[in-house]
Amino acid sequence: MLLIPCPWCGHRDESEFTCGGEAHIQRPADPAALDDADWADYVFMRTNPKGRHRERWCHSHGCGRWFNVERHTLTHDIVAVYRMGETPPDHGEADGT
Amino acid sequence: MTRYSIFSLARNALGYHRGWPRAWRSPEPAPTYDVVIVGGGGHGLATAYYLAKEHDVGRVAVLEKGWLGGGNTGRNTTIIRSNYLWDESAHFYEKALQLYEGLSRELNFNIMLSQRGVLNLAHNEHDLKEMSRRVRAIRLNGIDSEILDPAGVKTEVPVINISGDVRYPILGASLQRRGGVARHDAVAWGFARAADARGVDIVQNCEVTGIEIANGRVRGLQTSRGTIATRKVGLVAAGHSSVLAAMAGLRLPIESHPLQAMVSEPIKPVLNSVVMSNTVHVYVSQSDKGELVIGAGIDGFNSYAQRGSFQVVENQMGALLELFPIFSRLRMLRQWGGIVDVCPDASPIVGKTPVDGLYINCGWGTGGFKATPGSGWAFAHTIAQNEPHELNAPFTLERFSTGALIDEHGAAAVAH
Ligand SMILES: Cc1cc2nc3c(=O)[nH]c(=O)nc-3n(C[C@H](O)[C@H](O)[C@H](O)COP(=O)(O)OP(=O)(O)OC[C@H]3O[C@@H](n4cnc5c(N)ncnc54)[C@H](O)[C@@H]3O)c2cc1C
Ligand SMILES: [Zn+2]
């Protein structure tokens, strides 16, 4: 079980949260210009790294707010927590390292 | 290969069972192969077996970073069935079930297939309607499936609680009598032994670390045991599929999640079939040793850690006791997790990739053990002919751009 630091409520049990999957997937700015492959990439393709992963969580049984977490998918270490709209802390790209 | 038989058993008994030969060789990897399969789980080994048996492709190797079947193949709850909704899935999973029915004989290895029946429970009005639609669709595809009322469920599973005084009463069930379980390790070992006997090199402790591509074509692989030149590579790495695809610059519609299971202390036979419930979210069968084998849902977050969260265990136990109050004082012995490759439409990807000579077989998620022989059979065809078989033709990577998804969440999201 993860212990997740909500930016508003502090550390809480994972069971209070819902994971919303990969973060920073931008809705295409000009949807009409996209072809089917671009749409597939936006809707379905995921990075799924073995390593640091930036993902969205919602404190659904707490304050109800969404925020971002950077977490290692092998050790489950939470490397950073930051609010929606904030730029991720800069320690290199989240990746498969 | 020494054939296993009652005679070889008797002969070896005379020698106190010290004379059994090893089941497969352990060769050094050769510098070149015609086809290399990455991943020594059931699906990879079955692919290699059918490549060697049914296709003339030259030298074949299977590279496994750990030990054979150490991935999801050796971690799953071994449920086999073919009661899927859509025609595409029904035909593919039914092919696998039919191959399973002859597999012990085919491989000369007892995979301990036990067709004890699989029940999927209905707990509300919606479940009942959905079940009757599903059972009819399955029967139209020529696959056995029937509907039971609560009394019928009680006859099949005497220890189940069909009382109406619970939060999620049992209102009925679908039953596939040809469904059941098999020994997971035996499936991996049987395919390994039979593939080895046909000349396939099975190389364990050999991790693929890079894929060499030139002009859009596969040229070879980098591994922890040196470089291997080859023009055809089949990736069959389940939870690690995205990691391998990234080595070829590809992105997949897959996310890796932990899936857990556990076994109880062994007890006398009480449960003669496999019981699953999507609504309360648990499934259970009893092993030949007497342990209850219990499975649950995936953790909600991405992970490669082969362990799961405790609240999933709690939910799973609550659901089990809802169905079987009689199990309330059983102790659980062991719990473990595997990393499953979850696809958005709960269907697998078995086919070609944009890189020439690179083929992929993944996305089986929580339910690919039942498909092992059929998946290997169709994937071998795809690699040998450079063209999918009609059974796996709908299961392409392109379906995510064409939109021709095969939504099997009803058949595969909870039930495995
Ligand atoms: C707890 C649990 C319960 C399940 N229950 C059921 C069930 O009841 N019924 C059912 O049908 N399915 C079930 N499944 C799903 C089923 O186990 C899988 O879909 C199936 O076994 C996948 O087989 P595979 O051969 O593709 O993968 P695996 O057996 O995982 O094999 C993949 C192999 O690739 C290797 N590999 C990875 N990366 C590399 C690399 N870089 N180089 C070399 N090798 C590599 C891994 O070590 C692994 O051995 C369950 C899964 C789990 C985890
Ligand atoms: Zn909060």
CB-nearest partner of B242 from A13, A48, A76: A48
- A61 in reach of chain B (CB within 8 A): no
Closest residue on chain B to A50 (Cα): B304
pLDDT at position B410: 83
Closest residue on chain B to A54 (Cα): B302
For every one of its 416 residues, what pLDDT tens digit does chain B have, with 9 covering 90 and above? 789 999 999 999 999 999 999 999 999 999 999 999 999 999 999 999 999 999 999 999 999 999 999 999 999 999 999 999 999 999 999 999 999 999 999 999 999 999 999 999 999 999 999 999 999 999 999 999 999 999 999 999 999 999 999 999 999 999 999 999 999 999 999 999 999 999 999 999 999 999 999 999 999 999 999 999 999 999 999 999 999 999 999 999 999 999 999 999 999 999 999 999 999 999 999 999 999 999 988 999 999 999 889 989 999 999 999 999 999 999 999 999 999 999 999 999 999 999 999 999 999 999 999 999 999 999 999 999 999 999 999 999 999 999 999 999 988 766 77
| β-pair type (A52-58, A18-22) | antiparallel
pLDDT at position B73: 98
Q: Is B6 left (phi over 0), alpha (psi -120 to 50) or beta?
A: alpha
Are B230 and B220 in contact by the 8 Å Cβ rule? The answer is yes
- Scan for tokens 């301990």, then name that residue: B112
Give the phi and the psi of residue A39 in degrees, each rounded to 5.
-65, -45
| Confidence bin at A96 (pLDDT 50/70/90) | very low
Q: Is B408 left (phi over 0), alpha (psi -120 to 50) or beta?
A: alpha
pLDDT at position B373: 98
Token pair recorded at residue A32: 């009409």
Residues of chain B in contact with residue A97, where contact means CB-CB under 8 angstroms, are none
Tens digit of each residue's pLDDT (9 = 90 or more) over A1-21: 899 999 999 999 999 999 999
Cut 0.95: pTM above it: yes
Report the distance separating Cα B112 and Cα B99, nearest Å: 14
CA angle B287/B289/B290 to nearest 5° reads 65
Q: Find out whether the beta carbon of B222 lies less than 6 Å from any atom of ligand 1.
A: no
**Tally of CB atoms within 10 A around B362:** 26
| β-pair type (B349-352, B358-362) | antiparallel
| Confidence bin at A93 (pLDDT 50/70/90) | low
B33 Cα–ligand 1 center, Å: 24
Quote the CATH superfamily of domain A3-83. Answer: Folate-binding superfamily (3.30.2270.10)
Interface test with B, best of A12, A50, A57 (most B CBs within 10 A): A50
Q: Which of B65, B76, B299, B350 to mutate to test the pocket of ligand 1 (most atoms within 8 A of CB)?
A: B76
Chain A nearest-CA distance from B271, in A, is 31
Ligand 1 atom nearest to CA at B223: 42
* B50: enclosing H helix or E strand: helix B42-54
Q: Find out whether the beta carbon of B41 lies less than 6 Å from any atom of ligand 1.
A: yes
- E strands along B343-385, which residues? 349-352, 358-362
What Rg value do the Cα atoms of chain A yield, rounded? 15
CA-nearest residue, atom 34 of ligand 1: B39
- A32 in reach of chain B (CB within 8 A): no
- A76 in reach of chain B (CB within 8 A): yes
| β-pair type (B118-122, B274-277) | parallel
pLDDT at position A25: 95
Token pair recorded at residue B287: 């092993």
* B54: enclosing H helix or E strand: helix B42-54
Q: Is B315 exposed, middle or buried (0-12, 13-18, 19+ CB in 10 A)?
A: middle
pLDDT at position B1: 78
B276 Cα–ligand 1 center, Å: 21
Q: Find out whether the beta carbon of B181 lies less than 6 Å from any atom of ligand 1.
A: no
* B127: enclosing H helix or E strand: helix B125-140
Q: Find out whether the beta carbon of B64 lies less than 6 Å from any atom of ligand 1.
A: yes
* SS (HEC) of B269-282: CCCCCEEEECCCCE
pLDDT at position B2: 84
